[in-house]
Amino acid sequence: MKILTRFIIFSIAPVFLFPINLTAQQLEEIVVTAQRREQSLQEVPISLEAYTGAMLNEEGFRTIEDLSNFSPTVEVDVRVQDQDISIRGMGTAGNNLGLEQAVPIFNDGIHFGRTSMITSAFLDLERIEVLRGPQPIAFGQNATAGAFSLVTKKPTPEWEGDLTAEYGNWGRASVEAGVGGPITDTWGIRVAGQYDKQAGYMRDVVRGGKFPFSEDIVGRITLAWNPTDNFSATAKIGYYTRDRQGDGNAVCKTIPDVTRAQGVRQTERAVTFPGLTEFDNIVDVAPLPTNCDIEGFQRIGIQEGRKPFFKPVQGIDQEDTRGGIVDIGSVADTIMENNNTHDDVDAYNYRLGLDYEFSNGIVLNTNLGYVDYQRSSMYDNSSSPIVTNLQHRGEVFDMFSQEIRVLSPRGGQIEWEAGVFHQQEDLDLGNLGDPKYQTVSIRANIRRPNRATDAWQDTEWYSAFGSVTFNFLDDKASLDV
């Protein structure tokens, strides 16, 4: 088993940041926006977890999957092309891209409708709030199981910045930086970016080189305008590109204890090869992933019915040739071939937020968002040494949303909020039309010639919402309606 090791080379942060730790010793003043207004965590009647950006960096969290290893209620099921997220065991599962997630993801209040976009959302975060249970008022958007609310860092009154770099084995390298501060008395800016690369940890014994290769580039620019004490505007542009290349096909997979070969210990495994005797077997100490394929063997130099039938490939040592036995245990996990699959994502997201506080304390805010997402992927689903079921998939997703919300002054015996929401989504996916990706599959063309598909889905939401909170017993208890 190969283990990815990661080291933090350096991390610079002029401003002191402390992780949120929900213990009695540090429960001083934790501010969250789970109800779309700044509140102390102790005042929020919602079950939630909160993590600061400093804590995410400290623990090395880069994805929701990393966070799920730390959070007791979050589970992430990573599939070949997407991921399913659940909270408290509830979520949306399946490969239907038209389904809305029961655990939606919001970035500064804007819904990210594609789960693969969450990688870009982890850049330069102020905090993450994991909300458990239905969220019909604060977030909506089918949030029946919960929601992830990600809050990015905004421009600050004084210039500050941070820089983190990491390096690991198998060509793993990452650098992230963010800097922000005032431009004028009323304008502020913050710029952040991240570059992440994985050079590959498997060797292609057919063509050479390492795979799988991955590269992620994320960028964000945030502008803030505060002309008066009671009005503020925030504009944000984000970009995310992902490049994944290479997915291995095993050219040999062992079957436990099929044949005992001469000189092989009981703890080792042998696999028979057509045309050879029980003494002419390929032996591996560390078993490879079922079924051996003649053509797959020949592609790495193994010849059927000949002695020696194993022609050593560069980097694979022929340790024992007695009776035609070759021990490949030390490099068993490298007997792979890169099938040249890929997964590419290009996404832009835009946000404009306006906040105005009237003289009587009532707050009016609006949140506009737009997401432009494109994805091209190609996978071989045959699980065989020969590429027989190569499938392309293209995906184009556009989303526009607008929310207007009115909130009452805080601290009264009765607090209320009301608003309206509109969202429009256009989804086009498949391997025909636009985007045009034709399926190249022996199995599909012979058995299921109609496998090539094109699908689209246009959706619009209109909603109105409101809630009233009654505070009593000197604000020690409240009732939400």
Res 410: pLDDT: 80
Provide the 8-state DSSP code for 54.
H
Res 208: pLDDT: 60
Whole-number Å distance between alpha carbons of 189 and 224? 6
Res 142: pLDDT: 79
Q: How many CA atoms lie within 13 A of 473 on its CB side?
A: 4
| Structural domains for the chain | 6-152 (2.170.130.10)
Res 172: pLDDT: 85
Q: Shortest CA distance to 235 belongs to which of 224, 246, 220, 244?
A: 224
- Report the Cα–Cα distance between both ends of the chain, in Å, rounded: 54
Do the Cβ atoms of 425 and 456 come closer than 8 Å? no
Element containing residue 187 per DSSP (H, E) = strand 187-198
Sorted by sequence, the CB contacts under 8 Å of residue 418 that are 6+ apart come out as 405, 406, 464, 465, 466, 467
Per-residue three-class SS string for 421-453:
EEEEEEEEEECCCCCCCCCEEHHHHHHCHHHCC
Give, for all 481 residues of the chain, the pLDDT tens digit.
334 444 444 444 443 333 444 443 444 567 777 777 777 777 777 888 888 888 888 887 877 888 888 888 888 877 666 778 888 888 887 767 777 788 888 999 898 877 777 766 688 999 888 888 888 777 877 788 888 889 999 999 999 999 989 888 878 899 999 999 999 999 999 999 999 998 877 665 555 667 778 899 999 999 999 999 999 999 999 999 988 887 655 444 333 333 333 333 333 333 333 443 333 333 333 333 333 343 444 444 444 333 333 333 333 333 334 443 344 433 333 344 455 677 889 999 999 999 999 999 999 999 999 999 998 887 766 555 445 566 677 889 999 999 999 999 887 788 899 999 999 999 988 765 334 344 444 444 444 444 556 788 899 989 998 888 887 766 666 676 7
Whole-number Å distance between alpha carbons of 450 and 429? 16
Sorted by sequence, the CB contacts under 8 Å of residue 162 that are 6+ apart come out as 11, 12, 13, 14, 15, 177, 178, 179
